[in-house]
Amino acid sequence: MSEYWGMPEKEYDLSLFQFARDKLSEKGYSVLSERVEVCSGAGALTLTAIIGTGDSRFGLYLHDGAKHRKSRGPPVIKLLRLLEGMKTAEDLRLFVINHQHDFDIILSPVDADMAGRVERDMKEIYMHLYNLKIKDMYDNDLSNAADVLRKRMRRVIREL
């Protein structure tokens, strides 16, 4: 996993959830902070985000890529509880980097029912985004997929 955590190119401000604003809103979610990174080559995607629902906040971790799908199957989508001091996706990202092997255990949500429901919602939303922005590249495993993904996910809407 660590090879996917390089510093993104400064000219790119990437957002995946900008394309699901309506779907997130319909289900009662708002994106408070998002960090998307795309690995070079076939375009492995890693997303960390802080999501809000009314008065609660939680973290979201997502990892997907053409190589991941071929060797490990469906994307990894995890709902995470936030520790005190985690206010942005960057805070969550740094925690994940520093605890690569056990972040999902350390940050496991207290309410398993709520976590299951939110993870199902996020999988549904991500599949919509995947079909809209990513599927054609991952199906073909294009060597320049990362560059195309970066262009497709450039922040178009400044406010999420």
For 60-97, write each residue's pLDDT tens digit. 999 998 888 888 889 999 999 999 999 999 999 999 99
Rounded average pLDDT over 109-124: 92
At residue 1, the pLDDT reads 33
DSSP 30-62: EEEEEEEEE-TTT--EEEEEEEEETTEEEEEEE
Confidence grade of residue 131 (pLDDT, cut at 50, 70, 90): very high
Say how far apart CA 43 and CA 55 lie, in whole Å. Answer: 35
Taking the C-alpha atoms of residue 147 and residue 152, their distance in angstroms, rounded to an integer, is 9
Name which residue leads in pLDDT, 70 or 107: 107
Name 14's Cβ contacts closer than 8 Å, sequence gap at least 6: 8, 36, 37, 38, 150, 153, 154, 155
* CA within 13 Å, CB half, 83: 12
Q: Could you tell me the residue range of the domain that residue 118 belongs to?
A: 2-150
Q: Is the pLDDT of residue 139 over 80?
A: yes
Flag whether pLDDT at 6 surpasses 70.
no
pLDDT at 160 over 70: no
Q: Cα torsion for 139, 141, 147, 150, to the nearest 10°?
A: 40
Give the integer Cα–Cα distance in Å for 133 and 130: 5
Is 160 a domain residue? no
Tell whether 158 is covered by a domain: no
- For the chain, the domain total comes to 1
Query: What is the spatial distance between Cα 40 and Cα 43, in angstroms, rounded to a whole number?
Result: 6
pLDDT at site 92:
96
Tell me if 155 is assigned to some domain. Answer: no
126 within some domain: yes
Lowest mean pLDDT among 15-19, 70-74, 122-126, 154-158: 154-158
Q: pTM to 2 decimals?
A: 0.87
Q: Could you tell me what percent of the chain has a pLDDT over 70? A: 89
Residue 27 pLDDT greater than 80, yes or no: yes
